[in-house]
Amino acid sequence: MFDPNSVQATPSVPINRLVEEQLVRWYFLAGLGYLTLGMLGGIFYGLQLIQLNPFDGTSEYLSPGRWRMIHTNLMAYGFIANCFLGALHYAVPRLTLHPVLSTKFSYFIFAAWQAVVLATIGGLMVGEAQSLEWGETPVWIDPLALVGLGLVAVNFMAPIGKVKGPMYVTLWYFTAAYIWTVLTYAMGNFVPQYFVNGTAAGAVGGLFIHDLVGLFVTPIGWGLMYYMVPIILKKPMWSHGLSLVGFWGLAFFYPLTGIHHFLYTPIPMFLQYGAIVSTVAVELVVTTVLINFFATIWGSTRSLVVNVPIRFFYTGMILYFLTCLQCAFQTTLTFQALIHFTDWVVGHAHMVMFGVFGLWLYGTVMYMYPRVVHRPWFSKTLNEANYWLSTVGIVTMSMDLIVGGLFQGQYLNALKPWEDYISISVPFWVIRMFSGLLMFAGLICLWINILLTSFGPKVDPVVVAASDSTSA
- Would you give the distance in Å from CA 291 to the centre of its chain? 21
| Residue among 439, 357, 411, 44 nearest 349 (CA) | 357
9 located within any domain: no
**The predicted structure's pLDDT at residue 45:** 87
4 located within any domain: no
**The predicted structure's pLDDT at residue 420:** 92
**The predicted structure's pLDDT at residue 356:** 96
Question: What pTM was computed for the model?
Answer: 0.93
**The predicted structure's pLDDT at residue 468:** 52
Residue 405 CB contacts under 8 Å (≥ 6 apart), including other chains: 339, 342, 343, 344, 345, 346, 347
User: What 3-state class would DSSP assign to 266?
Assistant: coil
**The predicted structure's pLDDT at residue 213:** 87
The CATH number for 259's domain is 1.20.210.10
Q: Please list the pLDDT of the chain residue by residue as tens digits (472 residues).
A: 334 444 444 444 556 578 999 999 999 999 999 999 999 999 988 888 888 877 766 677 777 888 889 999 999 999 999 999 999 999 999 999 999 999 999 999 999 999 999 999 999 988 888 888 778 888 899 998 999 999 999 999 999 999 988 888 999 999 999 999 999 999 888 888 888 888 888 888 888 888 888 889 999 999 999 999 999 999 999 998 999 999 999 999 998 888 888 888 898 899 899 999 999 999 999 999 999 999 999 999 999 999 999 999 999 999 999 999 998 888 899 999 999 889 999 999 999 999 999 999 999 999 999 999 999 999 999 999 999 999 999 999 999 999 999 999 999 999 999 999 999 999 999 999 999 999 999 999 999 999 999 998 888 776 677 665 554 4
429 located within any domain: yes
Cα–Cα distance measured from residue 361 to residue 354, given in angstroms and rounded to the nearest whole number: 9
Whether 366 contacts 470, CB under 8 Å: yes
**The predicted structure's pLDDT at residue 194:** 85
470 located within any domain: no
DSSP summary character for residue 4: G
**The predicted structure's pLDDT at residue 91:** 96
| Residue among 327, 336, 343 nearest 263 (CA) | 336
User: What 3-state class would DSSP assign to 56?
Assistant: coil
**The predicted structure's pLDDT at residue 231:** 94
Cα–Cα distance measured from residue 91 to residue 73, given in angstroms and rounded to the nearest whole number: 25
426 located within any domain: yes
1 located within any domain: no
6 located within any domain: no
132 located within any domain: yes
DSSP summary character for residue 195: I
**The predicted structure's pLDDT at residue 463:** 66
Residue 434, domain extent: 24-465
Instruction: Indicate the number of domains in the chain.
Output: 1
Measured N-to-C along each axis, helices 21-49 and 64-73 cross at an angle, to the nearest 10 degrees, of 150
**The predicted structure's pLDDT at residue 152:** 94
pLDDT in tens, 356-384: 999 999 999 999 999 999 999 999 999 99
Whether 251 contacts 26, CB under 8 Å: no
